[in-house]
């Protein structure tokens, strides 16, 4: 399934770009060798003929099938797809990490957008043994959010208290949110047994946190957990959304704050700033990358993905462009993940990006970060992925 919105006019897709955004789209399409697609916006017969040839070529390509949960890594792809409906890619939305396993096991997918440690674990456990990490783009976003009045700044202050761990559409137990949460606990000198932990989907966890409801009011939590949660583990932009919601006048919610920055706990790495971590990126099957025709398609999609990530970051200083991009991503989340009860308002996405709580980067090569990345992944999942997990493109 792909959005059918034209880059020249509005359609049934999530956003109809303005003239200024069309210029940015043109730059991206030129980089992809697909600039002829813009000929449909005006011009002579030669431009239209080039457009037809390009469209026919794109249709002839076998699209790259990309499976993804609604994690931040999907944002650049949603933007790239909306900006270029001819992009040879199919996004396959799944609710959680087990959905990724099922898609690969059925032979129905070629690539994944996921947390680096999630992909590495799938390789190590043999669930997707030939998945290769080709780029890392998601560099910031995991927080412990707590009531402002509590003054929480460390995990030590939460010992013995209730803690929520939240995934986008599930509790995330055993998935990316849980892996980085437990690794952060270890860095802080704590263990899961030090807390009363409950795993809940964000759409259930956020209201419980905002209203400070007893944890056992949700049957997924231990019945003995009769206290309200003292903190919640959230990825951006959900963390920004919860904080924004509780600070709204007349919300009736307990004001929240980002209490613990998980990124800064992981000291000792030099390949990236101390405020960032190599959270997520793109993994592609080696069988796809080893096939010249399929690899060429993957390269086109990856170029578009990188261009979209760069556009997202560049828009942070331009409120109008940022809002447009946020609206496109928000609409994409609704289109692909609304079936799982998930929504993500555009103002929340825009605020998270503007405040630099969610960061995408395309400037770090795999070769440059691989030594530290391998050590980091070993720390998070307990063992090192094979050397073949890393692939420079």
pLDDT at 1: 36
Global pTM value: 0.83
Model pLDDT, residue 72: 95
Domain with CATH 3.40.190.10 in the chain: 19-139+277-389, 142-261
DSSP string, 147-168: EGGGT--SGGGGTTSEEEEEES
> Quick check: 73 and 316 in contact, CB under 8 A?
no
Predicted local distance difference test score (pLDDT) of residue 7: 31
Among 381, 336, 249, which residue's Cα sits nearest to residue 69?
336
Q: What is the CATH number of domain 19-139+277-389?
A: 3.40.190.10
CATH code, residues 142-261: 3.40.190.10
Rounded to 5 degrees, what angle do the CA atoms 30, 35, 41 make?
A: 135
The whole-number pLDDT of residue 170 equals: 72
Instruction: Extract the residue ranges of the chain whose pLDDT is less than 70.
Output: 1-60, 171
Q: What is the pLDDT of residue 60?
A: 59
387: how many CB neighbours lie within 10 A of its CB?
9
Q: What is the pLDDT of residue 174?
A: 83
Query: What's the Cα-to-Cα distance from 150 to each of 145, 225, 246, rounded to whole Å?
Result: 11, 19, 15
Which pLDDT score, from 0 to 100, does residue 370 have?
97
Q: What share of the chain is helix, strand, coil (3-state, %, to 5)?
A: 50, 15, 35
Instruction: Report DSSP letters for 217-264, one per residue.
Output: GSTTS-TT--SPPSEEEEETTHHHHHHHHHHSTT--SPPEEEEEESGG
Residue 198 CA from chain centroid, whole number? 23
> What integer pLDDT is reported at residue 218 of this predicted model?
97
């Amino acid at each position: 399934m792909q959005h059918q919105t034209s880059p020249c006019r509005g359609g049934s897709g999530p956003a109809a770009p303005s003239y200024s955004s069309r210029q940015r789209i043109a730059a991206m399409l030129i980089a992809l060798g697909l600039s002829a697609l813009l000929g449909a916006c005006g011009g002579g017969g030669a431009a239209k003929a080039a457009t037809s040839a390009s469209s026919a070529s794109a249709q002839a390509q076998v699209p790259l099938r990309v499976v993804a949960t609604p994690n931040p890594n999907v944002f650049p792809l949603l933007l790239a797809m909306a900006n270029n409906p001819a992009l040879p890619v199919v996004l396959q939305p799944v609710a959680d990490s087990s959905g990724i396993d099922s898609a690969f096991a059925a032979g129905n997918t070629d690539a994944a957008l996921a947390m680096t440690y999630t992909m590495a674990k799938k390789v190590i456990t043999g669930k997707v043994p030939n998945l290769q990490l080709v780029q890392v783009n998601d560099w910031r976003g995991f927080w412990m959010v707590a009531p402002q009045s509590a003054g929480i700044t460390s995990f030590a202050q939460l010992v013995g208290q209730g803690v929520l761990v939240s995934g986008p559409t599930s509790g995330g137990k055993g998935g990316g949110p849980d892996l980085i949460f437990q690794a952060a606990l270890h860095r802080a000198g704590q263990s899961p047994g030090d807390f009363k932990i409950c795993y809940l989907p964000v759409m259930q966890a956020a209201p419980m946190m905002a209203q400070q409801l007893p944890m056992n009011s949700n049957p997924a939590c231990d019945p003995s957990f009769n206290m309200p949660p003292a903190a919640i583990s959230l990825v951006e932009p959900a963390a920004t959304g919860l904080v924004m919601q509780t600070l709204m006048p007349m919300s009736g919610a307990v004001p929240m704050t980002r209490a613990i920055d998980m990124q800064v706990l992981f000291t000792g790495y030099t390949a990236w700033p101390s405020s960032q971590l190599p959270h997520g990126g793109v993994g592609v099957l080696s069988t796809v990358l080893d096939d010249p025709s399929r690899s060429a398609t993957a390269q086109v999609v990856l170029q578009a993905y990188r261009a979209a990530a760069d556009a997202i970051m560049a828009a942070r200083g331009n409120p109008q462009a940022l809002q447009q991009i946020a609206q496109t991503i928000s609409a994409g989340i609704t289109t692909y993940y609304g079936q799982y009860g998930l929504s993500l308002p555009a103002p929340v996405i825009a605020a998270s990006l503007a405040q630099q709580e969610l960061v995408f980067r395309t400037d770090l090569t795999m070769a440059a970060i691989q030594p530290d990345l391998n050590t980091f992944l070993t720390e998070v999942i307990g063992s090192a992925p094979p050397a073949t997990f890393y692939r420079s493109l």
